[in-house]
Amino acid sequence: MLKRLGERLFTFYCHTDFQEDIKGDLEEYYAFNLKEKGEKYANGRYFIDALLLFRFSLLRDNWLSQNSNNIAMVKNNIKVAYRSMMRHKFYSFLNLTGLAISMAACVFIAIYVQDETSYDKHFQNSSKIYRVAAHLAFADNEFNLPATPDPMAKAMKMDFPEVLEAARTRGNSTEIISVNNQFFQQSGITWADQEFFNIFKFSVIRGDMDHFLDEPNTVVLEESTSKKLFGDTNPIGRIIRFNEETDLKVTGVIEDIPANTHFKYEMFISMLNREDAKQNIWLSNNFITYLELNNSILAETVEGKIPDFVVKHFGPQIKQFTGTDIATEIEAGRQTWNYFLQPIESIHLRSNLDFELDNSGSVQYVYMFSIIGFFILLIACINFMNMATARASVRAKEVGIRKVLGSMRKQLIGQFLTESLLNSILAFFMAIGIVYLMLPGFNSLTDKTLTDPIFGADGLWPYLGLAAVLVGLAAGIYPAFVLSSFLPAKVLKGEMAQGNAAKWMRNGLVVIQFTTSIFLIIGSMFVYSQLDYLQNKELGFNKDQILIINETHLLGDQVETFKDELLRSAIVENVSVSGYVPATNVSSDFPFLSENATTTDEAVSVQHWKVDYNYGGTFDIELVYGRFFNKELASDTAGVIINETAARRFGYLENPVGKKIKSLGGIVNNQSQSFTIIGVMKDFHFKSMTEQILPHALMLDSDNGRVNIKFSPEKAQDVLQFAESTWDKFANGRPFDYAFLDEVFAGSFKEQLKVKTIFTVFAILAISIACLGLFGLASYVTEQRKKEIGIRKVLGASTSRLVNLLFNNFTKLILLSILLAVPFAWWYMDGWLSDFAYPVSMNPLIFVAGGLGTLLIAWLTVGYQSLKAARRNPIDNLRYE
Amino acid sequence: MKKYQLGEFEEIVLLTVGVLYGEAYGVAIKEEIAKRQNRKVSVGALQSALRRMESKGFLNSEFGESTKMRGGKRKRYFKITALGKKALDYNMQSRVELWNQIPDVAFEFKLC
């Protein structure tokens, strides 16, 4: 048996010339062994010998053993490619730099896109995990929330068999905690159900994941948080004092949650600590509900059941509080209670609800940057193609001779492709160099911490290598076919008439290049001006010269004394105690009715902020009508200041001062309150600048979350020192946490700033690479026409005429590009701007500037070459023939 | 000289082929080496060395008779070629030259 197998194997791989005698030898050994040592040994020996005969020199012919001329040819091709590169150092340099820079740009874009698309995919079962989101509407008020009522999770698990597990989190706040009387400011605090850890299976470092938070007063930490609080000691069982009132016992430590996750929690407190988590109110949405389904295809089934679910659970409470029947209200379109499931994998890029935990991703930007990357690479490829065909006249003789000597067309194509491949591979290595050189800059721009994106774990190098080869082929294929198609007889006779086709092609490619770069330039100018507009838009309040001290509720009753102490300083102009500061994303909305309202359908959802007497003076809020709160008037405690939008929505077209608004019959406190309007403030952006201004109201109420100090101009450092030393007198070692409002404000633009920078960088890259190509092309064309220029000059043409002659062609091409790019850019930017609540107008100046700017740059590029050629002494051009 | 380069095993095989003049086929060579050098040779090593040297031109070969014991397969007899002889000569000469270059002192192994 073994013998047969061995023989088969041997026959399979051994060269046919050697088979007979070696098999004979093997038979002989076999016979000998059979006699001496028995059948078993002989069989085994035969098999082993057959295996050991697997030697390179005994194998059948294979691709390695063939003495192929191909390898020599390939070597020769590389050599020729190298020589031709070295002979034209300047053009090779232009080509290589262009390709390398654009490849590096593409690598960065690829890294960015890879990272953006990797969000939330690292959990086990991540494809089965969903978040419940809400689209709610009543009257004119509309809400898109990632949040749900507190009983939602439990009810869904009960009602839907498809739901394997349901869990809630609430909040994402920064609070003061202390360990052994040492204070820390802790961000990323949330309250979570135990079930949260059943859905999101984090790697546990310490503790029992099944019983992390199933008791009140327990807390789970992220590893780095645990390190920060407890060093390297075991934190299990240790106590964290939360907000100076609750003692929490550490029950678990999980590995740091990867940065590409839509929540950035660092500390989880047991949901059992929250009273509002048990109150069973369906009409307030504050809890984020996560579901794990048995199977991801069941999401639609679950969503299909939600309308009935809503009627069943929301109905009774709606009836109780508003007296209406939910089913008929929904039917009539007066109310919308729409809950739906979002796959967590798509939250980062595709979900854009109000109050998102993570609002940084945008699938639009991912597409945008991918397209830009493609464009830049395209421009560089076109450079290569253009240079190659433009240089055809030089290579033509070489091609002719090669053909005469018997080169096949196939071989010539091979040679030219080798050339472009060599180029792209060299460029690839240069690009890698550039990437590693620029990585720190990229990291700081995009807030990432990449160290080795190409060769590290999950590195991009296989894709990049493949891309380099593809780029080489794509850039080389057209020149290869053009150059190899020359007829040797004609070429060698000197009839180097490069057909119109090649010229058209070249011009067409230049037009494509410049159309894309003009598009990018106009686009980035729009992005720039839009974001600039938002940043510098008149706010309606004073954001400069305001120092915010956070977490002042820690001072408790002493806040007022602290405030008075601050007010004593000459550099402090005003101090207001209120947690509600513009641009800090605080929010608390509640429905209100105007005094004329007859039904609850007319309710307006208003952001109502609790402020003190000094608020208006501190933030310099402009009033259109009325006045701010006055300490002397006791009635002001029932007064309210609304913004213009709110006045409009309440239907107060005239001066509304003196009119009343009342809160909708409370859901939580179950009591309607009435307020008198004492002032109307000018609309200002109290939230993000990118969003529409919503109804807004200020009420007199105490909220000691923050102390806001307005200081004299140029005194930022002094006031900071003063505030800190005053704080230390009161705070007993609690950390001093401050921010300047203008910085907070700039921070809310971080995302846009990033986009702005990236756009600008890439637009500049695109235009420089395109100009690099144009420069090469222009210098080549002038070189080709130098005899013509010489003769024209001898016959009396002036320098300006000659320059004009050379300019003309390029100018036409670029004008054509402008014509093509402008409508496209118009259409695209119009769409982009329509996403903003406050867009800049479609300023035609930008189009003019973009087009003319490109033309100017192109002229400068071509002009240098043209001028040089035109001013040269004609003798130099005509001397040699 | 690269042209005459022989590995140690190749040299043994080549020499054995010479020793077995006229009778040098696989099995015989293997047995001869086993007997004279007291060393076990695998079929694979032997055969690949033979073919390698054949392609280098140190050996040539022709088919011989077949016996029943070989399952009707012919033997392949190897012979040293002139080039093979030169390679052997060159190898021996270069060794001898090296031997002669060694100063006597190098072989005086006294206890030191």
Q: What's the CATH code of the domain at B85?
A: 1.10.10.10
- Residues pairing with A195 in the sheet: none
In a domain, B87, yes or no: yes
To test the contact with chain B by mutation, choose from A11, A21, A26, A29 the residue with the greatest count of B C-beta atoms within 10 A, namely: A21
8 A C-beta contact, residue A530 and residue A839? yes
Residue A155 in this model has a pLDDT that exceeds 80? yes
Which residue in the set A22, A31, A57 is minimally distant from B26, CB to CB? A22
What are the distances in angstroms from CA A652 to CA A597, A602, A643, A646, A680? 12, 13, 11, 9, 11
The pLDDT of residue A271: 92
The 8-class DSSP code of residue A59 comes to: B
Kindly report the average pLDDT of chain A as a whole number: 83
The 8-class DSSP code of residue A636 comes to: G
In a domain, A215, yes or no: yes
Asked if residue A440 and residue A373 are part of one domain, the reply reads yes
For A662-688, letters b (16+ CB in 10 Å) and e give ebbbebeeeeeeebebbbbbebbbbbb
In a domain, A63, yes or no: no
Q: Please state which of the ranges A728-742, B19-33, B45-59, B66-80 shows the lowest mean pLDDT.
A: A728-742
In a domain, B111, yes or no: no
The first and second tokens of residue A803, run together, are: 């320059």
pLDDT in tens, A419-453: 888 888 888 889 888 888 888 888 887 777 777 77
In a domain, B109, yes or no: no
Task: Band the pLDDT of A67: cuts 50, 70, 90.
Answer: low
Which residues of chain B have a CB within 8 Å of the CB of A26?
43
SS3 A608: strand
The pLDDT of residue A608: 82
8 A C-beta contact, residue A175 and residue A155? no
In a domain, B108, yes or no: no
Asked if residue A680 and residue A593 are part of one domain, the reply reads yes
Name the interface residues of B facing A (CB cutoff 8 Å).
25-27, 42-45, 47-48, 51-52, 55, 63, 66, 69-71, 73-76
Which residue in the set A27, A55, A56 is minimally distant from B71, CB to CB? A27
Percent of chain A at pLDDT exceeding 90: 10
Distance CA B84, CA A348 (A): 75
3-class SS letters over A517-583: HHHHHHHHHHHHHHHHHHHHCCCCCCCCCEEEECCHHHHHHHHHHHHHHHHCCCCEEEEEECCCCCC
Q: Please state which of the ranges A234-248, A280-294, A518-532 shows the lowest mean pLDDT.
A: A518-532
8 A C-beta contact, residue B1 and residue B86? no
The pLDDT of residue A819: 92
Domain carrying residue B59: 2-96
H or E element that contains A227 = helix A223-230
Asked if residue A323 and residue A194 are part of one domain, the reply reads yes
In a domain, A692, yes or no: yes
pLDDT in tens, A480-517: 888 888 888 887 776 655 567 777 888 888 898 889 88
Number of neighbouring beta carbons within 10 Å of residue A514: 32
**If we measure between CA atoms, which residue out of B74, B18, B100 comes closest to residue A28?**
B74
Residue B14 in this model has a pLDDT that exceeds 80? yes
What interface predicted TM-score (ipTM) does this complex get? 0.86
The 8-class DSSP code of residue A200 comes to: S
Number of neighbouring beta carbons within 10 Å of residue A571: 14
Q: Phi/psi zone of residue B104: left (φ > 0), alpha (ψ -120 to 50 degrees), beta? A: alpha
- Residues pairing with A169 in the sheet: A192, A288
What are the distances in angstroms from CA A858 to CA A306, A505, A769, A772, A852? 61, 19, 12, 10, 10
The first and second tokens of residue A304, run together, are: 């299909």
In a domain, A394, yes or no: yes
A474, A498, A522 - which closes a domain = A498
Asked if residue A100 and residue A53 are part of one domain, the reply reads no
Any alpha helices (H) in A347-499, and if so which ranges?
347-350, 363-390, 392-404, 409-446, 461-483, 488-493
Rounded mean pLDDT, A759-788 = 81
Give B55→chain A minimum CA distance, Å.
Answer: 9
Asked if residue A325 and residue A217 are part of one domain, the reply reads yes
The pLDDT of residue A668: 44
Provide the number of structural domains found in chain B: 1
Which residues of chain B have a CB within 8 Å of the CB of A31?
69
- Residues pairing with B77 in the sheet: B62
In a domain, A616, yes or no: yes
The pLDDT of residue B111: 64
The one-letter code for the residue type at A489 is A
In a domain, B47, yes or no: yes
In a domain, B105, yes or no: no
pLDDT in tens, A325-357: 888 888 887 788 889 999 998 888 888 777 777
In a domain, A130, yes or no: no
How many residue contacts between A and B have a Cβ separation below 8 Å?
68
Distance CA A400, CA B60 (A): 47
A721, A747, A773 - which closes a domain = A747
Distance CA A95, CA A423 (A): 8
In a domain, B54, yes or no: yes
The first and second tokens of residue B112, run together, are: 């030191």
- Residues pairing with A293 in the sheet: A163
Distance CA A438, CA A446 (A): 12
In a domain, A418, yes or no: yes
Asked if residue A710 and residue A594 are part of one domain, the reply reads yes
Tell me if B51 and A57 make a contact (CB, 8 A cut-off).
yes
Asked if residue A151 and residue A100 are part of one domain, the reply reads no
Name the residue of chain B whose CA is nearest to A50's CA.
Answer: B44
A15 or A598: whose pLDDT is higher?
A: A15
Domain carrying residue A93: 72-117+360-498
For A388-400, letters b (16+ CB in 10 Å) and e give bbbbbeebbebbb
In a domain, B18, yes or no: yes
Distance CA A826, CA A532 (A): 19
Which residues of chain B have a CB within 8 Å of the CB of A29?
27, 43
Name the interface residues of A facing B (CB cutoff 8 Å).
18, 20-29, 31, 49, 52-58
The one-letter code for the residue type at A331 is E
Q: Please state which of the ranges A145-149, A448-452, A616-620 shows the lowest mean pLDDT.
A: A448-452
Which residue in the set B42, B55, B73 is minimally distant from A20, CB to CB? B73
Rounded mean pLDDT, A379-401 = 80
SS3 A496: coil
The first and second tokens of residue B101, run together, are: 């270059």
Distance CA B2, CA A515 (A): 63
To test the contact with chain B by mutation, choose from A3, A29, A35, A57 the residue with the greatest count of B C-beta atoms within 10 A, namely: A57
Asked if residue A320 and residue A195 are part of one domain, the reply reads yes
Task: Band the pLDDT of A281: cuts 50, 70, 90.
Answer: confident
Asked if residue A710 and residue A616 are part of one domain, the reply reads yes
Provide the number of structural domains found in chain A: 5
In a domain, A139, yes or no: no
